[in-house]
Amino acid sequence: MSETFISFHQSGRGFQMMSSVSGPWEPGWRYRDNGGGAMLSLVYMCAQKVVSDHASLRRALGSIPRELYPPLFTAAFLGGKTLVLQDLVQRWPFPTLRFQELLRVHPGQIHLHFTWESTQTVILGIVAYLGDAMSRDNWGSKERGQRLRLLDMTGTHNSFLEQSPGTKSTLSRTVTLAKACIELSRRRRSEATQAAKRRRGHENSALVPSHPLDPVYVEVRVDLFVNSTSYSVLREALQASVHGPMRLRCRDLRAKELSLRRTVALLELLEPAGVRQIDLSFNNLGLEGLNALLPAMAKFSSLRSLKLPYSNVDVRRPTPDMEDAMRKFAALVGQLKSLKELNLGSSRLSGRLRQVLGGIQEPLESLELAFCFLLPPDLYYLTQSLHAPVLKKVDLSGTNLSELLLPPLQQLLAASSSSLLHLDVMECRLTDSALSALAPALCRCSRLRYLGLFSNPLSSQGLRTLLQNCLGLRELRLVVYPYPVDCCGEGLDWGDFYGAPTDGFIDQQKLARFSAELQETLARVERTDVVWTTDLCLHRNLDYLNL
């Protein structure tokens, strides 16, 4: 351990020098580029070695320079060294601890292999840190509660992680945080009660501070996920955290299958500042229910993204009351002045998109209209709307774009060509001829980064042509393409088919040869920076807020 520690100190001097350029909080200290790509830095490799010996590191923590805590934290977190991790959190020397900055493997990416155990350990470390700060033995300590003030856990959710061994869902992380918050608040009340009793029984009450626990808190910024099972514990935690030792501050809220009453109650407990996304799925509220809910969102002045998929909205057979409800919905959404993204996925909007969006006065940059039964008038309206010139993300998945909607889609792509970053047309029945017709408009979208074509009846030759057409899109980084129809077995009726073919319909050898051919083509034209894949899960499309 001693030799390793000396080597680490030598690297530490180099890290100190590098920090003058990138700062100890930047991800660059983990990697250096030797001309052939990123590789682990000496600092990080030393950190991995140091955290492997918990006993020696614990003895040395008092003498380790504060600048070395970030690489030690990252090495312990990603290596699952939970005992080391808890010690580091309890002694964290900075006022902030931000997951996104410490767990990045490369700019713009979150490490795929951080575990639930490490996340839980950080939470337990915060609980221990606050518990120690609140104890009466530390009333006179200068260190009491004054180091760490902010734990930022936002941005670590990844839907793929939740399907992987060794990980747990955002729901589990939310429940663990909520229970920790409740536990700390109860302990604080108990210690406050004991302090009050001591003051009453002490001859010189001035020796006991009247509010010894007030300064002790850590703000925890987090993305929360709640459903009917976890609602009660999260609601109690948010109530307790207002003045408690652990103060939960929500950035992105995902709520699934909650009633109108519960959703409103939850929104009322969130701090207005900092909430940037609200995602309410499978709420079954309908248009009237959404109109009753939207006023509760008016206080969120920074709300940029509102997702309302599977809300049981159906406006295909309008009545006078339905017309009023559509106008009211558009007006209420229009009052969310910072809103840039709206998701109405799986709503039945056929021919009524103009009415639903008509009251929105500020342009949206992202519209998710997957499986919304759109008609040509809907796309023609969108093409002429104030949104078209600034759209960064468009999701039209599940819309039949093979015939009547093809011309307005061409116009929409032309109207948004200078801004569009992300286009998802999954399960849109696009054939080779339709894709060929779209190619000129698509190739004018010079900023396009993501193209989702999964589950469209395209042939290998159609995809080869698409690849050649897309070579001029220099910012394109990810294309999720479908299994080519000529790589699928006979008996699959694409005319009536939605979704991906099952394994039994796919000729794996043909698919492997075609995939290898695409990779060879990309290598030959020096575009290996673009990923072409059929893997819809691993390479999921990016959220608008991460574009």
Which residues are paired to 452 by β-bridges?
424, 480
Closest to 363 (Cα-Cα) out of 416, 421, 292, 441: 416
281-362 and 378-547: identical CATH topology: yes
Looking at per-residue pLDDT, the higher value among 174 and 10 belongs to 174
Residue 499: predicted pLDDT: 55
Domain 378-547 sits in CATH at: 3.80.10.10
Instruction: Answer whether 84's CB lies under 8 Å from 72's CB.
Output: yes
Instruction: Answer whether 333's CB lies under 8 Å from 304's CB.
Output: no
Report helix, strand or coil for 237.
helix
Which range of 3-12, 177-186, 487-496, 532-541 scores highest in mean pLDDT? It is 177-186
Q: Residue range 278-295: average pLDDT?
A: 96
Q: Residue range 490-498: average pLDDT?
A: 53
Please, is 158 exposed, middle or buried when counting C-beta atoms within 10 Å of its C-beta (0-12, 13-18, 19+)?
A: middle
Q: Residue range 209-235: average pLDDT?
A: 83
Residue 318: predicted pLDDT: 82
Taking 80 as the threshold, does the pLDDT of residue 45 lie above it? yes
Domain residue limits, the chain: 1-81, 115-198+212-271, 281-362, 378-547
Taking 50 as the threshold, does the pLDDT of residue 12 lie above it? no
Model confidence pLDDT, tens digit, residues 20-37 = 323 333 444 455 544 444
Looking at per-residue pLDDT, the higher value among 141 and 280 belongs to 280
Pairwise CA distance, residues 471 & 443, whole Å? 9
Model confidence pLDDT, tens digit, residues 137-183 = 444 444 444 589 999 999 865 543 444 433 345 678 899 999 999 99
Q: Where are the beta strands (DSSP E) in 178-329?
A: 218-226, 246-256, 277-281, 305-307
Residue 7: predicted pLDDT: 41
Q: Which residues contact 262 (CB under 8 A, 6 or more apart)?
A: 228, 231
Taking 80 as the threshold, does the pLDDT of residue 395 lie above it? yes
Sign for the CA dihedral angle at 241, 243, 247, 250 comes to positive
- Per-residue confidence at 356, pLDDT binned at 50, 70, 90? very high
Pairwise CA distance, residues 272 & 429, whole Å? 43
Looking at per-residue pLDDT, the higher value among 139 and 333 belongs to 333
Looking at per-residue pLDDT, the higher value among 346 and 215 belongs to 346
Q: Which residues contact 275 (CB under 8 A, 6 or more apart)?
A: 250, 251, 252, 253, 300, 302, 303
The answer regarding whether domain 281-362 maps to CATH 3.30.1490.70 reads no
Which amino acid appears at position 149 of this protein? R
Closest to 67 (Cα-Cα) out of 120, 123, 125, 8: 8
